[in-house]
Structure 1
Amino acid sequence: MQLIPVIDLMAGQVVRGVRGERSAYRPIRSSLCESSAPLELAPRLLERAASDTLYIADLDALTGGALQFQILAALLERLPAVRLWVDGGFRDAESIDAFRQRLGAHAARVTPIVASESLADADRARRCFAAHRAHCILSLDRRQGSLLDPGGCHAHPEWWPARVIVMTLDRVGADAGPDLDTLRSVQALRPELQLIGAGGIRDAADLQRAAASGAQAWLVASALHDGRIGVQHGGQ
């Protein structure tokens, strides 16, 4: 199972995500380096996870602000062999079109994450996946058992692209273990999908359980920053 390191980006800094409570996020304190600057932390996270893919949640964009495009562009220049998965609060097909056009030659290295929480209604959700199913990843979001899904993505598995993230926000940074039951319920709806888990990984044992559940990859941040998993611990 592949580890995908995560950067939660707010006001130009990497912050520590806890339970999706974004107003409480603070600059990261990491064992990897003293800085919370994304250009400093990103290569160290990728090395510890032995990954060629970095997930970026742009919290400014997710909360209604502007996408931090200059930082994305700098990461693409600094890390030429790395792919970025970017959750930029994309609200419709047109916002993804504009993002990909702005990326220019880098567009092939960047995968937009379409979060169910960001799609305001079923029409926007349906049109978004009709236009971009081939090159996006859907994030099916929930918190404390409730769906974050105004567009009804959970109810329409026929819309889904080939890769789906099962995002349980209250497990993020909470040391609560991975939400394998939800992952299996999504898997039952579309068994052929590539499923990516998110949140809850505490140690190598959790990684083994997650891999056995059928996940192709898992989004991880806190356990990497804290040194509880990674290549030096045999956590692949």
Structure 2
Amino acid sequence: MIIVPVLDMKDGLVVRAHMGVRNAYRPIETPLSATADIADVAAALRQVFPFPAFYVADLDAIENGARPLQAAELLAGLRPAPEVWLDAGFSSSDDIAATLDNARTLAVLGSESQVDTGLLRRFGNNPRLLLSLDFRANAFLGPPEILEQSELWPGTVIVMTLGKVGAGDGPDYDVLRKVKTRAGNRAVIAAGGVRDAADLRRLEVMGIAGALVASSLHNGALSEADISSFMGPSQAR
């Protein structure tokens, strides 16, 4: 099971996400890092565990259509350099293609940013395209066809339940179970609400392939030993 730390970026800083209310996000305050700079926060998370990948949500691009961050370059100082899962509100072929041109970046196609299935059809066979099925209060965000036509889904599908992000009340197991049933042999990644190792164990039993996490790393609820029990032993840092 893969565990991927989340770095939510807004106005150039890592922010603390809470229930998808993005206009209320403020720079993160964490015992792990003295600053909210993305390189500092990522390096601090690497002191918890040598994560091979980070999920970067570019909120300026998602909310305002800003050009996507060069997220891999912002984290290039980490050794080894991580893989970056970039969620930047992709709505144009050019932006997705440019992101996929970087060998260390995977593009996350968020359903909330789509107007139809066009981009999913064009890029869905690329193994470095990830689909995020976005939900808020049990409502699917995006064209219904994206949710209904599971044959279009790529090999990895993220279930993003925005109301669970930072809420501390656990993942949305019902939505995850429904998506897992339809996903077949695709990898399903849980996003939103993971509190501790008990949640991860329950997800693992369900056949969920991984989880995006943030709060449980910053508050210490997930320890190095917990993470190692799912991802294998950590390497010397």
**Same fold by TM-score, threshold 0.5 exceeded?**
yes
What is the Cα deviation at residue 98 of structure 1? 3.0
Q: Where in structure 1 are there 5+ consecutive unaligned residues? A: 102-106
What is the Cα deviation at residue 215 of structure 1? 1.1
For residues 171-194 of structure 1, what are the alpha-carbon distances to aligned partners after superposition, in whole Å with 9 as ceiling and x for unaligned? 000001011221111111122011
- Match of 1:127? 122
- Match of 2:219? 226
SS of the residue aligned with 2:188?
strand
Given that 2:87 and 2:108 are in contact with CA atoms closer than 8 Å, whether structure 1 keeps it comes out as yes
What is the Cα deviation at residue 141 of structure 1? 0.4
- Match of 1:104? none
1:17 aligns with 2:17: yes
SS of the residue aligned with 1:85?
strand
Q: 1:12-161 counterparts in 2 under 5 A?
A: 12-67=12-67, 69-70=69-70, 72-101=72-101, 107-129=102-124, 133-150=126-143, 152-161=145-154
Q: Where in structure 2 are there 5+ consecutive unaligned residues? A: 231-237
Aligned partner letter, 2:164: R
Given that 2:117 and 2:143 are in contact with CA atoms closer than 8 Å, whether structure 1 keeps it comes out as yes
In the aligned structure 2, how far is the partner of 1:181 from the partner of 1:49? 30
What is the Cα deviation at residue 72 of structure 1? 3.9
SS of the residue aligned with 2:43?
helix
For residues 49-103 of structure 1, what are the alpha-carbon distances to aligned partners after superposition, in whole Å with 9 as ceiling and x for unaligned? 44200000000000124235355413134444310000011113332113334xx
SS of the residue aligned with 1:81?
coil
Q: Say which structure is richer in helix.
A: 1
In the aligned structure 2, how far is the partner of 1:117 from the partner of 1:18? 17
In the aligned structure 1, how far is the partner of 2:168 from the partner of 2:183? 28
1:211 aligns with 2:199: no
Q: Percent identity?
A: 39
SS of the residue aligned with 1:66?
coil
For residues 116-149 of structure 1, what are the alpha-carbon distances to aligned partners after superposition, in whole Å with 9 as ceiling and x for unaligned? 01111234443343xx533200000000010001
Range 149-158 or range 3-12, more displaced: 149-158
SS of the residue aligned with 1:56?
strand
Given that 2:120 and 2:153 are in contact with CA atoms closer than 8 Å, whether structure 1 keeps it comes out as no
Number of matched pairs:
229
SS of the residue aligned with 1:207?
helix
In the aligned structure 1, how far is the partner of 2:100 from the partner of 2:3? 25
TM-score calculated relative to the size of structure 2 = 0.89
Given that 1:5 and 1:49 are in contact with CA atoms closer than 8 Å, whether structure 2 keeps it comes out as no
Given that 2:8 and 2:15 are in contact with CA atoms closer than 8 Å, whether structure 1 keeps it comes out as yes
| Cα 1:70–1:161 shift into 2, 3 Å | closer
Aligned partner letter, 1:208: R
SS of the residue aligned with 1:183?
helix
What is the Cα deviation at residue 150 of structure 1? 2.5
